Chains A and B, each alone.
Chain A
Amino acid sequence: MGKAPKKRSMADKVRKTKTSTEIKNNPFEVKINRKKFDILGRKSKHDVGLPGVSRSKAINKRKETLLKEYKQKNKSSKFIDRRFGEYDTKMAPEDKILKRFAMERQRNHDKKDVYNLNEEEELTHYGQSLAEMEKFNDLVNSDDESEEKGLLSAELTASHFGGGGLLRKKSLGEQQEGEGSHRAKSRQELIEELIQKSKLEKRERQVQKEEAQELTEKLDQEWKSIQALMVKKTPKGERVEEEKPKLEQYDMMVRELGFEMKAQPSEKLKTPEELAREEREKLQKLEADRLRRMMGDEVGESSQSQIHMSADDLNDGFILDTDDKKTLSYQDGKWNIGEESEEDKGEDEEEGQSGEEEESEAEEEDEDGDEEEEEEEEEEQEGSSEEEDGHSDLESEQESEDEEEKQDEKASAKPSLSKEEIKAQQEAAKAELPYTFTAPENYSDLKDLLHGHTPDNQRLIVARTQKSNHASLAVGNKLKLQKLFVFLLEYIGELATRSPPELTTIDKLIPELYTLCQMFPEAACKAMQSILGDAGHSMEEVLEVKGHVAFPALDMLIYLKVTALLFPTSDFRHPVTTPALLYISQALTKCPVRSLQDLTSGLALCCLAVEYVSFSKRFLPELINFLAGTLHLAVQDKTALGYTVVLPFRPSGKCSDLLVLSDSESCQSWSKKSLPLSATQRLELKNELGRDHHRLMCLSTCLDLVKRCCLLYKDLTSFACIFQPIRSLLSKHLSAQTLPELLQELHSEILETISSAPVTHSRLVLERKKPIPLKLLTPKIVEVLDYGKKRGSTREEREKERLQHKYKKEFKGALREIRKDTRFLAREKLNEVMNRDSERKRKVRELFGSLATQEGEWKALKRRKRK
């Protein structure tokens, strides 16, 4: 029982001694276990047994273990194997061997050898030194190969196939050994000498052979030269001569390549067509996503693909902003408000240039929208002007803050050395805006940072702040940039509330906002939500108190527009745009129109609303109501209305004539131009003519929006009902004659679209349901996959059961083994007894025999005597 681990090794040994195929092929050895059922998919190991083999194995095993023990019984003296680790079963045999070897080496190690560093061990193969073997290269000669053949081993192979180092060393070591050891020659050494001698002979033989070959070759060549005389063709000789330099070249190449770094496989460069196609595919995918979200399907895991990624994007969140190409080399310095006079000068100069650049970029930007092409542009520009090249270099290095100062030096030095003076001066002039900015900690920081800069510079500052605080550079940067987004939003709101509103600055800051938003969608979403939530809440509060509210201020309009720029407006449900739309609708229903200014605000909101739904074509009743109400304001005769106006408009009242022209003559002098957004806040119209013009402008905007709405909602089933008020308004109350030509056109277009829409619809029918299947009466089949296993118990119970089963099996096995052991022992004992008995019998018989012969001899002697 206690010999379990040993058993296995024994069994292995036994198995190895037999030739298994021999046994397996012997039909008398094989016992086939009959199977009762054939089970598909089950592999049975025990269909064939070799009882004889296993029995003999068992017997052998016992003989080696049990029998030995039995024989040692009652014996005090013992044979002990003192080899290292002989009885250590935990050690692997390899380890044992190694250890023993090491110990042996240690034992052999003399004091003399302590300082012998170069002593190297000789490696052998089948008792022969490998170093020796190498020198005796077998020659495989063929006629084609010439004298270089001989070189093609030791040195050559070493250099070509990289196996040289070790071998060479060994041969060296061997020589030293030969020199160093002059002791009394042991038997081994003698044998070695003998071997060496034979090798030497072998080598000599080889050399002779080579010489003979050389001679034959020489002969061949000579013969060839003669042959060339005979035949005017030298087929092989020249070729052989040419091969030589080629091979050298080859060797050099091989060596070179060996030292050379391995080149990484790179992706194939893409052609413009391929790029374009990829881009298109990407856009198509994004578009498909957008459509799916619009339908209100649940978004899967593909949501992250929303983020636009260029083909070269490293997916590290870094977005290259090529618009910064015009970044100028400014001296590194702290930002001082006190230095403004200098800065202003610089800015003035810069403005001129940046304006030009802005133009050129604007053209480019019109065509593209994606980064990839912008990058191409960058390359183009790099090629065109070296000055800019230098900057783009800088730009790419800007990412690391450590190198910042170095770059600045470079930046200031480089152009002044290399470029014309004008450009250098420009550079110097521009050298005021620092490259790095610390991210603002609070809103007033940002305000201070941006205070007193031109819109372009402000944008530059924000862009640089963003870059120098990129999330991958430091741990806290992500948070800083998220804050920056919030502050920027706040800043935009403040710009919009200033009078006059600084909308151009906002316009410039939009790309930065977009970039930041793309980086941190969650933070952006939260910031926007809080703005919308606050606005909605305050509006609700005012409504509760007063029952009506004033139109949202310009900052809110800007926020709504920015929302539309940053987030998709077409989604079925979106955490930002849905509340934004609700806010718009709330404003359109609850804000009374009391002045032309209010009306302008309302129309701006309508424009936004149309933008929000332009892609998804969703129905916005408030929009139609407001537009109808606006048209109602322009109706002169307000008696006998054929339609109803919905709040916030009233059929009649003090403000219901806002859009009625005071003088019909003003139509002639009117021409269409854009309304300023600031008109929603402050409207200064000196005279009646100006008022009339503004009225016409509002009216034209309104009509245009109505037209757009008509086209948007053309497919709705209740289109006719929705547009019925507008239709009757336009056809009966607001006659086209009194309007300018442009509006007359719109007027007729709208009426046409409305009347062209289909008024007939098929009846509503519920969607067909799948028929409910009949009840089936076939028995339910439960598939049982794990036979024999008890199901429904807990894990602990199963574990316990398993252990018990295992224990039982082991116990039985052990009993069996013990029985077999006793049987074996009994047999052995019996054998012993029998042997002993037979020996005794033999001896007795021998004795009897000898006695009998003795007796016979004695009797014969007696008989003879008697005779």
Chain B
Amino acid sequence: MAPAKKRNVSSAKTTEQSVKTAKIDLNTKVESILESRKNANDVFDILEILQSAKEKDVVNAVNACSKLFCTLLEKKELFLGKLPGEEEALSGGYSAEEKYRMFMRHRYNSCVEMLLEHLSHELHGVKESALCCLMKFAAGEGQHPLEDLDWSEHYSFPRELIQAVVKRLLSKTTDNSLMISRFQEFLEMEDVRYYVMSSIRENVGKVMDKNKGALDPIYQNNVFTLMSNISVPSQESELTNFMVKQEAKHDDWKVAKLNEHKRVFERMWLGFLKYKLPSNMYKKILVILHDCILPHMSKPTLMIDFLTAAYEVGGAISLLALNGLFVLIHQHNLDYPDFYKKLYNLLEPSVFHVKYRARFFHLANLFLSSSHLPVYLVAAFAKRLARLALTAPPTALVIVLPFIYNLIRRHPSCRVLIHKPSTEDEPLEDPYLMDEEDPAKCRALESSLWEIKTLQKHYHPDVAKAAMSINTPLSEKEDDISEVLEITTYELMERDLKQSQTKSVPLEFETATQLLKGGANVLGQHFCLD
């Protein structure tokens, strides 16, 4: 170990040294430029290194650039106002001082160009340092605007720069999620966030219009990642963290108003959602919709169209749209016709198998907790759930059975489903119509929950026990299903595995002689050893 380590150290040292020398080189150059204007041409060297292939060199160059131009910005040694062309600047009648500034301004512009190019570099390190550098420039520009601030309604903020950065971030070709998560730290700042939001909206509108609304998964994914990282503070007093301090007229500044933030946020999302989305994107949006988007919108009701459209889609998307709809119905007085009918039709065998099972049952429990629902509806739900339970895995059954019991408890007139003594005790066929879409016409009330009777023979003891409880009158207290909503198969397994064994383990008494023998010999009949 020891010698290897030594070697490592030594090699590391040499590279370090080389890097150091390069750094020193760059640093001396930067300092010489800053020292006297004679050395201004060294800028070209730095910019050259900026374009080199080596990651370390580029990163060093980026750092040097940021140092150089930030100082220049601070010193106000960059040309202000509308910049004439390079040739013009040389030929035009400007003073030497102005010429220098123009020259530097041109170099600055080209440096920014290069950095923006680097934002789509393949190496993450380069991208990151470029991004940081650009944001430093943005901060610097904000403090020391490059434009003339003559007119009053304009507040100094480097909008162009931010727009350019956002445009690069929302790449159409590469997945920029890592960069975006790095970018998140800048989004903490209120003004940056505000302008980023408005630039996103512009960018999305532009790009999607160009695409004529066609799907562009990578681009949309980038947009979504960036947008989902944006969260608006809940109170205006929290708006304190600004990148650019506006000394004057602060109170009128839009950025300092929460409502403006919300409005921009809302427009950004609506602008994004009005285009067609890939289905997995749809799901992702719906998953975060109710707690990341709706609360931050100034008028959440604007989402109604999107949500109803999603609810109509069917399947998992509808399930997810339920949550947003619930928020709207619950908090914003949305009146949704045939909501329960649609909910009823959402009940498909797949409900028990999808990932969002817990969320769905949580919401369904909420929707059906109203005591003002008609009996036929509750009975229809109970019967349909029971029917579907015949295809459900045990983890779902652990939820569904108490769910059905809770329905019956809340609506005692549904008790006929499990208890219907009749004088003429003749057996009858199940009158329930599974294919009927209207819960009012499915004749669930005339039926009985024979399915639960069937589930009493279920292989899992917990399920079978739960199903047994329809034999006796249900207890008054509702079962709490929130505990079992997230249960996994492994947790169910653990119940048996972790059980402390006080009793001895029963063993098979039929002597095992061969691998495939035993049981009903089913395996042996269809499979052989080799």
Residues of A within 8 A of B (CB): 283, 286, 289-290, 293, 296, 299, 303-304, 306-308, 365, 369-371, 500-501, 503-504, 506-507, 510-511, 513-514, 517-518, 521-522, 524-525, 529, 532-533, 536-537, 539-540, 547, 558, 561-562, 564-569, 571-576, 578-579, 581-583, 585-586, 589, 603-604, 607-608, 610-622, 624-625, 644, 646-647, 674-678, 701, 704-705, 708, 716-722, 758-767, 769
Contacts and interface: CB of A to CB of B under 8 A. Distances in A.
Interface string B501-515: 101111111111111
Interface string B416-438: 01111110011111100000000
Contacts, number: 280
Contact of B391 (A296, A518, A621): A621
A608 B428 contact: no
Given A676-B530, A678-B530, A716 B392 contact: no
Contacts of B430: 720-721, 759, 761
Contacts of B504: 303-304, 306, 521-522
A73 to B, nearest CB: 77
Given A561-B516, A719-B454, 7 more contacts: A365-B513, A521-B504, A575-B501, A604-B527, A618-B464, A675-B528, A676-B530
Given A619-B454, A704-B526, A536 B515 contact: no
B421 A765 contact: yes
Nearest to A305: B509
Contact of B528 (A536, A539, A585, A677): A677
B453 interface: yes
B460 interface: yes
B461 A674 contact: no
Given A764-B419, A769-B472, A585 B394 contact: yes
B515 A510 contact: yes
A511 B511 contact: yes
B519 A646 contact: no
A837 to B, nearest CB: 92
Interface stretch (B44-52, B194-202, B304-312, B484-492): B484-492
Contacts of A678: 530
A578 B460 contact: yes
A767 B520 CA distance: 34
Interface of B: 348-350, 353, 355, 387, 390-394, 417-422, 425-430, 448-451, 453-455, 457-461, 464-465, 470-473, 488-490, 492-494, 496-497, 499, 501, 503-523, 525-530
A716 B391 contact: no
Given A533-B494, A717-B453, A721-B387, A607 B460 contact: no
B259 to A, nearest CB: 41
Nearest to A500: B530
Residue among B391, B418, B494, B510 with max Cβ neighbours from chain A (10 Å): B391
Nearest to A674: B528
Nearest to A286: B509
A610 B522 contact: yes
A721 B341 CA distance: 23
Contacts of B508: 564-568
A575 B390 CA distance: 25
B350 A646 contact: yes
Nearest to B349: A646
Q: Which 7 A-B pairs give the minimum distances between C-beta atoms?
A: A611-B519, A614-B520, A674-B528, A760-B427, A618-B459, A540-B490, A565-B512
Nearest to A282: B509
B420 A763 contact: yes
Contacts of B418: 764, 766
Contacts of A759: 429-430
B449 A764 contact: yes
A504 B516 CA distance: 11
Main secondary structure of the interface of A (DSSP, over half): helix
A539 B516 CA distance: 25
Given A547-B355, A646-B353, A762-B427, A571 B506 contact: yes
Contacts of A585: 393-394, 459, 489
A566 B391 CA distance: 30
Max count, chain B CB within 10 A of own CB: residue among A501, A522, A766: A766
B113 to A, nearest CB: 41
Given A763-B420, A763-B448, A766-B473, A581 B459 contact: yes
A619 to B, nearest CB: 5
A98 B459 CA distance: 82
A718 B460 contact: no
A159 B514 CA distance: 67
A540 B489 contact: yes
A394 to B, nearest CB: 24
A460 to B, nearest CB: 16
A705 B511 contact: no
Contact of B520 (A289, A503, A611, A758): A611
Q: Which of B350, B493, B501, B503 has the most CB of A within 10 A?
A: B493
B472 A536 contact: no
A674 B526 contact: yes
B460 A581 contact: yes
Contacts of A511: 511-513
B529 A503 contact: yes
Contacts of B517: 565
Contacts of A576: 505
Given A514-B511, A578-B496, A646-B391, A564 B519 contact: yes
Instruction: Count chain A CB atoms within 10 A of each CB in B421, B458, B459 and give the residue with the most.
Output: B459
Nearest to B397: A621
A432 B459 CA distance: 50
Nearest to A300: B503
12 contacts: A299-B506, A511-B511, A517-B507, A561-B523, A574-B506, A614-B522, A646-B350, A675-B528, A676-B528, A708-B522, A764-B420, A765-B419
B290 to A, nearest CB: 22
Nearest to A611: B519
A613 B496 CA distance: 18
Contacts of A572: 461, 464
A619 B458 contact: yes
Contact of B428 (A603, A613, A718, A760): A760
Given A764-B418, A766-B472, A608 B506 contact: no
Contacts of B521: 611
Contacts of B387: 721
A299 B505 CA distance: 10
Given A568-B506, A675-B526, A760-B429, A625 B391 contact: yes
Contacts of A307: 507, 509
Given A536-B489, A581-B459, A767-B471, A507 B515 contact: yes
A522 B528 CA distance: 31
Contacts of B507: 306-307, 517-518, 521, 566-568
Contact of A716 (B454, B471, B519): B454
Nearest to A647: B353
Nearest to A571: B506
A831 B449 CA distance: 109
A785 to B, nearest CB: 36
A616 B392 CA distance: 20
A2 to B, nearest CB: 62
Contacts of A610: 520, 522
A642 to B, nearest CB: 10
A304 B507 CA distance: 9
A717 B454 contact: yes
B299 to A, nearest CB: 36
Nearest to B449: A764
Contacts of A618: 457-459, 464
B398 to A, nearest CB: 12
Contacts of A719: 454
Contacts of A518: 507
Contacts of B390: 621, 718, 721-722
Contacts of A708: 520, 522
B472 A767 contact: yes
Contacts of B453: 717-718, 764
A504 to B, nearest CB: 6
